[in-house]
Amino acid sequence: MINPDAKLSDKVFADDIEKKPTRDGFGKGTVEAGKANPNVVVLSADLGDSTRAAWFQKEFPDRYIEVGVAEQNLATVAAGLAAVGKIPFIASYAAFSPGRSYEQIRTTAALNQQPVKIGGMHAGIQTGPDGATHQMLEDIGLMRMLPHMTVMVPADSVEGEKCVVEAAKLPNPCYIRFGRAAEPVFTTPETPFQIGKALTLWKSEKPTVAFFTTGSVAYRTLQAAKLLEEEGIGSIVLHFHTVKPFDDAAAVEAASQVVRIVTVEEHQVAGGFGSAVAECLSLKHPIQITRMGMQDEFGQSGEPDALMDFYGLSPRHIAAEGKKLS
């Protein structure tokens, strides 16, 4: 059943649930952070509208910087601003930032511990028709390997806004992953949120499998848990909006209650969220783990839902995996 402490939307399984891209949370979050702190600035690389950085520009035109199509410059200018006391958020597509600008992020932000906040938009295969070049599937791995870097992947636009607001308060660099497609808004302003703390979305009375998830696939995983419950199979759905720092305690607690873990992510399973789970549990609570996600392959053009189905990340695919050995 849905965890009442998660305070999810009353329409969580309704056909008319509201849908918005998680990137909307970046626009709203930067505006809120900008109102709270005059040192917050936003930089864009010629993608203000689609990244929602333009929402901040409308409110604070004097604190918005357009650097043009120059993602490496975007990162280094932001690091310089951070060095003199600003709190810079940089916005581009994840394929370009951190994709194109990885070395600059590594050296000028992470190594120097400058509080640059990186908004990586259009990540994952749900970027859809843009195809493999723009479907960034390696960003979680790239960012979580960097010392000093916090990594967050919100489940919906409401949680995305929370990620941004809290990131502005961090003294270290941070990466937040956002998607392009409109996704169900199933969390609420009252849903608990704390950086580094996983959230239990679903827990059956007698769970045999636990789903660990991050990002917007959390909603599809919730749907899968409901399908399994209808067949008499109990489960836990644990959502990690923060991939780094990883919530070891929550992972171990959930693992101790089941016989199997299934991780679900819209990212390469190698080096991504599933790898973070395996790294934790292999040391602290060895258990069988199946990692669902991109299996060492690039994406392709297509409609978001069709791609999620093709790559085995639909609710029915997740539920089918949960049945094994349950």
Q: Return the ∠ at Cα 25 (arms to 24 and 29), rounded to 5°.
A: 125
Please name the residues in contact with 72: beta carbons below 8 A apart, sequence gap of 6 or more.
100, 101, 103, 104
Task: State both tokens at 96.
Answer: 């370009």
- 3-state SS, residue 208: strand
Q: How far is CA 5 from CA 159, 187, 276, in A?
A: 16, 11, 26
Pairing relation of β-strands 242-244 and 150-152? antiparallel
CB 89 within 8 Å of CB 43: yes
Q: Which residue has the tokens 């689609």?
A: 50
Identified catalytic residue from 18, 59, 66, 71:
71
CB 156 within 8 Å of CB 216: yes
Q: What phi and psi, each to the nearest 5 degrees, are found at residue 211?
A: -95, 125
- 3-state SS, residue 262: strand
Tell me if residue 71 is catalytic.
Answer: yes
Task: State both tokens at 86.
Answer: 């600003």
- 3-state SS, residue 274: helix
CB 30 within 8 Å of CB 164: yes
State how far the Cα of 48 lies from the Cα of 44, in Å rounded to an integer.
Answer: 6
Write the DSSP assignment of 97-156 as a string of letters: TTTTTHHHIIIIIIITT---EEEEESBSGGGGGG-TTT-B-SHHHHHHTSTT-EEE--SS
Residues designated as active site: 71
